[in-house]
Amino acid sequence: MTTTNANTNTNTADACCSSCAMAGNGAALATACTLDAADFKERVASVQALASRHLLASRRESLTLHLTYALEALPEVRNIVAMEAECCAFLDFDIRAGEQIELTMTAPESVALAADELFAHFAPELAKTAA
């Protein structure tokens, strides 16, 4: 089994979506996605294409999203995690490869109000089964 963990913290006022830009009363989040709207749209399409082909199961626990992919998706999962770690450095990603790929994404408490939107583009509804 191999494990990869991408976790860095960056502060930025730029945002890819309304949830990244604003929290609760409209105060800008200290942590936000740095993609512009066009790049975000392209990233979402890539992530959803991966999910439609290889996502086997998904499970959400508050600020953590657990995704299980088919083993052949490992290079693509690693690539997407690397790109996501750059634009959303406040998220913690953990990849475990065995018979399947287990990707765990964890958001910090500071973005709790935006967690639904942050995790939505990973398309957990496309999972073949719930984990």
In a domain, 30, yes or no: no
Q: Is residue 17 part of a domain?
A: no
What tokens were used for 62? 């508050």
Q: Is 57 part of a structural domain of the chain?
A: yes
pTM: 0.73
pLDDT in tens, the chain (131 residues): 555 555 433 333 344 444 444 333 333 444 556 667 777 788 789 999 999 999 999 999 999 999 999 999 999 999 999 988 888 888 999 999 999 999 999 999 998 888 888 888 887 887 776 55
Residue 122 lies inside a defined structural domain of this protein: yes
Q: Tell me which residue of 78, 69, 84 sits closest to 127, measured CA to CA.
A: 69
Q: Residue 93 sits in a domain of what CATH number?
A: 3.30.1360
Containing structural domain, residue 54? 2-10+42-130
